[in-house]
Chain A
Amino acid sequence: MNSNWQEDVKQMASGIRLRVLKHTIDSNGGYLSQACSSAELFSVLYKRILKLDKLEKPLLPEKFQGVPNSERKAVTGINFNGGGKQENDNFILSPAQYALVLYAALIEAGRMDEKAMEEYNKDGSSVEMIGAEHSPGMEVTTGSLGQGISQAAGIAYARKVRGDSGRVVVFLSDGECQSGEFWEAVQAMSFLKLNNMLMFIDVNGFQCDGETKDVMNIEPFDERIRAFGARVFRINGHDIEKIAELGELPPADVPTFVLCDTNPHKDMEILKERYPKYHYTRFSSDEERERYQEHYDELLEARRG
């Protein structure tokens, strides 16, 4: 497998897109463009970069057990990842709106039973639409955007103090970096030299209201983060070799950011007609849904080769 990891990763990326597309068609709604922009990123992360627990078999998520309180400890989805072991990496998904993509990735990586998707957004399920810490693969609660990176930094600090060899790997998307908290976090992470942190940002250039440059410009994004004291790379976010290479880079003395420029309709040209509203895909007619179904069939065909 190792000799041809690129093929393996590509298969996983197309699997993620297909799963999210199928879900979107079947339930008339889904975070489809997020799958298109980040499929390679999630695939390289789970196949090549993240140091995680080896699982005997794919896990099936438990039902939602209730919110944390004095009688019920907070439960997280960390058991789908590194399980909190000193040598393993944390994986923090900051935009919890990407949960659907994360779930698809967990299934493709053999870490979650695909039956879990039947529970997606169902009453009483932990497989929530906006993932929370009890959701599969989620390690902290991040749906209030901007808080993921700060929590990750706190975890990284504690792990550094403890001398853990595992890193804290964070997935972010560009829109959330408009928040002041993001910049406060970068400032603190650089100041505290949290070189055990590795951030991948899906710079797809779009958010709920439209193009990021029209909603609230954050460019030149790489230069801004660099000015805050971090090590920054900016790459094509669909280039799996480049993503993998940076994921294995020895740490510097400051945190590392990998800005991944991505295409929000990669391998899903049909999405283009929704420009500039890619945030959530809900069909306006049966005819439209039908066309997505046809596209799904084509993609499936191509995948089978």
Chain B
Amino acid sequence: MEILRNVHAKNLVKWAEDKKDAYLLSADLTSSCEAHLFKEAYPERFLSMGIAEQNMLAFAGGMAREGLVPLIHTFAVFIYRRAYDQIAMSVAYPNLPVKMFGFLPGILTPGGATHQAIEDISVMRSLPNMTIIECGDATDVEASLGYAYSIDGPVYVRVLRGEIPRLFSPDDGVDFSKPRKLREGNDFVLLTSGICTEEGMRAAAALEEQGVSISHYHITTLKPFDHPEIVAEIEKSKYGAITMENHSIIGGLGTIIAEQMAEYGCTKKLHRLGLKDTFVHGASQRYLMRKYGLDAIALIAKIEEITKTRFNILEESLRETYTPSLHSDYKPEAL
């Protein structure tokens, strides 16, 4: 698999060249959020706001009222937790085009509870006017900028940075308005988002060899989300739906699918993989994915439990995945 480096940093410079109304606001994490090349290329459109997110978000609301498009860049956790009221009243209420790029979502940071955005989708989703996107690979990251910009209102994006895989060919185009179908099947409907999509792909491929047929969707747009066709497919499936997300199972993808199934009267079961109403602590990505059941092995175990079958799939037999080292050269700081 192709691994790309600093995708957002490079793409941002190229994309922003002719977007003269796009301004980047940073809260002292410029290189860590891949905004350093933008800062070098367009210093007149770069605002250093210091470690002061509440002001930054309401300030962005003011800029947006005057026709500018602020691109907020900081760690995901510091956007919604530190400045929630400012986002709600200065940005979301007047439906202003402030684009919030949140880095290191969920367990992607070893920085511990203070740095881990585990309920951001839940919180941001309940804000009226908010659009929410989550990137699962380099192609998503590249396309998210233009898509966020094209939306007339506030957008919150969960971005990937550093060394990231390309799971989807950019030649096929990216349509954020609909879930991306990755695999056909009729035993389960699997819905994954963010880094869990790659895990879902690894598990589904191995399970198919064992005769488990899985319909797999990669979900990028978490809000708005209205897909009766997926619910119909869940209804027709043998075992129902499974969601897997790098987020609390409360308020994120699992909840979104639960709401859809209930509203459309689906009678099948839903199984949610994700953080089960718990805070997390500082450790490496792979360790936390294993401990909290966010990887291919956890998905296989869940399907074994539902189907009451043992597949004896060895981790070594799964398609290889690439996890950047804790001290990857492609991130400038510790985090």
Q: Which A residues have a C-beta under 8 Å from some C-beta of B? A: 27-29, 31, 64, 67-69, 96-97, 121, 123-125, 128-130, 132, 134, 141-146, 175-176, 178-180, 207-209, 214-216, 277, 279-280, 282, 284
User: Hey, which chain B residues are within 8 Å of A125, CB to CB?
Assistant: 283
Cβ-defined contact, B333 with A128, below 8 A:
no
| Residue among A68, A134, A208 making CB contact with B32, cutoff 8 Å | A208
CB–CB A178/B114 < 8 A? no
Residue of B nearest to A146 (CB): B51
Q: Are A69 and B333 in contact (CB under 8 A)?
A: no
B283 touches A123 (CB 8 A): yes
Partner of B28, one of A64, A130, A209: A209
Is the pair A209, B26 in contact by a Cβ cutoff of 8 Å? yes
Is the CB of B54 closer than 8 A to any CB of chain A? yes
B327 touches A132 (CB 8 A): no
Return chain B residues, CB-CB under 8 Å to A143.
111-115
Assess whether A130 is in contact with B29, with CB atoms less than 8 Å apart: no
Q: Could you say which residues of chain A place their CB within 8 Å of the CB of B50?
A: 175, 178-179, 215-216
Given A31, A124, A145, A176, which contacts B334 in the complex, CB threshold below 8 Å? A31
Nearest-Cβ distance from residue B55 to partner chain A, whole angstroms: 6
Q: Which residue of B lies closest to A216 (CB)?
A: B50
* Chain B residues within 8 Å of A214, by CB: 48
- Determine how close the nearest CB of chain A comes to the CB of B168; give it in whole angstroms: 30
Given contact pairs A29-B327, A208-B29, A282-B327, A132 touches B82 in the complex (Cβ within 8 A):
no
* B11 lies within 8 A of chain A by Cβ: no
Interface pair A280/B334, CB less than 8 Å apart: yes
- Cβ contact within 8 Å between B333 and A279: yes
Chain A: CB-nearest residue to B284:
A123
Dominant SS among interface residues on chain A: loop
Q: Is the CB of B51 within 8 A of A176?
A: yes
- A124 and B333 contacting across the interface, CB-CB below 8 Å: no
A214 to chain B: closest CB distance in Å?
7
Known contacts A180-B52, A215-B48; decide if A209 and B29 are in contact (CB<8 Å). Answer: yes
Which B residue sits closest to A142, measured CB to CB? B114
Q: Which of B7-45 contact A (CB under 8 A)?
A: 26, 28-32
Taking CB atoms, residues of chain A closer than 8 Å to B77 are: 144
Q: How far is the CA of A208 from the CA of B49 in the complex (A)?
A: 12
Contacts of B334 in A (CB 8 A): 29, 31, 97, 129-130, 280, 282
Residue of B nearest to A180 (CB): B54
Can you name 29 A-B pairs with beta carbons within 8 Å?
A27-B327, A67-B279, A67-B281, A69-B278, A97-B334, A121-B326, A128-B112, A130-B111, A130-B115, A130-B282, A130-B334, A132-B112, A143-B111, A143-B112, A143-B113, A144-B82, A146-B51, A178-B28, A179-B52, A180-B54, A208-B28, A208-B31, A209-B26, A209-B48, A215-B48, A277-B332, A280-B332, A280-B334, A282-B334
Contact of A216 among B48, B282, B287 (CB under 8 A): B48
B332: chain A residues within 8 A (beta carbon): 277, 280, 282
- Chain B residues with Cβ below 8 Å from A207 are 28, 51
Question: B57-81 interface mask toward A, CB cutoff 8 Å, 1 = contact, 0 = none?
Answer: 0000000000000000000011001
Contacts A67-B113, A175-B28 supplied; 9 other A-B pairs, CB < 8 Å: A128-B110, A128-B112, A129-B110, A129-B112, A129-B334, A144-B77, A209-B28, A215-B28, A284-B329
Q: Which of B31, B52, B53 has the most CB of A within 10 A?
A: B52
Distance in Å: Cβ of A206 to nearest Cβ of chain B: 11
Does B280 make an interface contact (CB < 8 A)? yes
A96, B112: Cα distance in complex, Å: 11
Quick one: CB contact mask for B308-335 with A, threshold 8 Å, 1 for yes? 0000000000000000001101001111
Which residue of chain B has its CB nearest to the CB of A176? B51
Q: Which residues of B contact A69 (CB under 8 A)?
A: 278
Bound: A69/B113 CA distance, A: 14
Kindly supply a per-residue 1/0 record for chain B positions 229-249, scoring 1 wherever the CB is within 8 Å of any chain A CB and 0 otherwise.
000000000000000000000
In whole Å, how far is B38's beta carbon from the nearest beta carbon of chain A? 13
Contacts of A68 in B (CB 8 A): 279
Q: How far is the CA of A141 from the CA of B53 in the complex (A)?
A: 19
Would A216 and B283 be within 8 Å (CB), given that A67-B278, A130-B115, A132-B112 are in contact?
no
Contact of B287 among A124, A277, A279 (CB under 8 A): A124
Chain A residues in 8 Å Cβ range of B53: 179
Residues in chain A near residue B81, CB distance under 8 A: 144
**Chain A residues whose C-beta falls within 8 Å of the C-beta of B55 in the assembled complex:** 180
**Bound Cα distance A296, B112 (Å):** 30
A165 vs chain B, min Cβ distance (A): 31
- A124–B290 Cα gap in the complex (Å)? 12
The residues of A that contact B32 with a CB separation of less than 8 Å are: 208
Most chain-B Cβ atoms within 10 A of its Cβ — which of A29, A146, A216?
A216
A128-B281, A128-B282, A144-B82 are contacts. A216–B51 as well, Cβ < 8 Å?
A: yes
Given contacts A129-B334, A207-B28, A208-B29, contact A178 B282 (CB under 8 A): no
Bound Cα distance A16, B235 (Å): 63
Q: Tell me, rounded to whole Å, the shortest Cβ–Cβ distance linking A40 to chain B.
A: 24
Residues of chain A within 8 A (CB-CB) of B278 are 67, 69
Bound CA–CA A134/B50 (angstroms):
28
Residues of B within 8 A of A96 (CB): 114
Cα A97 to Cα B111 in complex, Å, equals 9
Instruction: Evaluate whether A144 and B78 lie within 8 angstroms (CB atoms) in the complex, with A67-B280, A96-B114, A128-B282 already known.
Output: yes
Q: How far is the CA of A211 from the CA of B282 in the complex (A)?
A: 28
Give the shortest distance, in Å, between A221 (CB) and chain B (any CB). 13
Contact (A178, B283) CB under 8 Å given A128-B112, A143-B111: no
B60 to chain A, nearest CB (A): 15
Cross-chain contact B114 with A216 (CB below 8 angstroms)? no
**Cα of A216 to Cα of B26 in the assembled complex, Å:** 11
